[in-house]
Amino acid sequence: MKLSKKQARLRRATKFRAQNADRGVVRLSVHKTSQHIYAQIISDCGTKVLASASTLSAKIKNGGNKDAAMKIGSEIAKAAKKAKVTKVTFDRSGFKYHGRVKALADAARDGGLDF
C-alpha cells in the first residue's frame, strides 16, 4: 500500500523525534518494507551498529509476514547477547506498534532483551 505524502512525512518526523530522544541509550531500530524486515542495535552515540539481523541475511523466503518477524526478533536477541547488550530502547521508526513490528519486539523480549 502506497503512503500519501502526508503519512510518509509524519512517519519520518516521528522517526527523527525518536532518534533524538534516545541519545545516550543503546536502541533497537526496526525498518520494514512489504517484503522484508530489518533490525539493528545501534550504539548510544548513534554512529556504530553493534548487531543486525534481517530477512535478507537470514535468507527467509517470505519475509513479509509475522513468522519471519518473530525469527528476526529472536535472531537479533542472540546477536545482542553476543555483543553483550541486554538493555535497549525500542525505536519503531514511526511504524505503528502492531503486526510485524509487535511480533519482532515480543520475540526479542522472549530472547532476553530488556526494553
Predicted TM-score (pTM) of the model is 0.85
pLDDT value at residue 60: 93
CA nearest to 89, candidates 25, 44, 46, 39? 25
On whether residue 4 sits in a domain, the answer given is no
Q: Find the CATH number of the domain harbouring 101.
A: 3.30.420.100
Lowest mean pLDDT: which of 15-19, 29-33, 62-66?
15-19
On whether residue 62 sits in a domain, the answer given is yes
How many structural domains are present in the chain?
1
Cα–Cα distance between 18 and 76 in angstroms, integer?
A: 20
On whether residue 12 sits in a domain, the answer given is no
- Encoded amino acid at 57, one letter: S
Domain, as residue range, for 39: 25-110
pLDDT value at residue 46: 80
67 pLDDT band, cuts 50/70/90, is very high
Q: Are 95 and 108 in contact (CB under 8 A)?
A: no
- Encoded amino acid at 70, one letter: M
pLDDT value at residue 31: 95
pLDDT value at residue 1: 59
What are the residues whose beta carbons fall under 8 Å from the beta carbon of 21, sequence distance 6 or more?
none
Query: What's the Cα-to-Cα distance from 52 to each of 14, 40, 47, 67, 92, rounded to whole Å?
Result: 22, 4, 14, 18, 15
Tell me the pLDDT tens digit for each residue of 70-104.
999 999 999 999 999 999 999 998 899 999 999 99
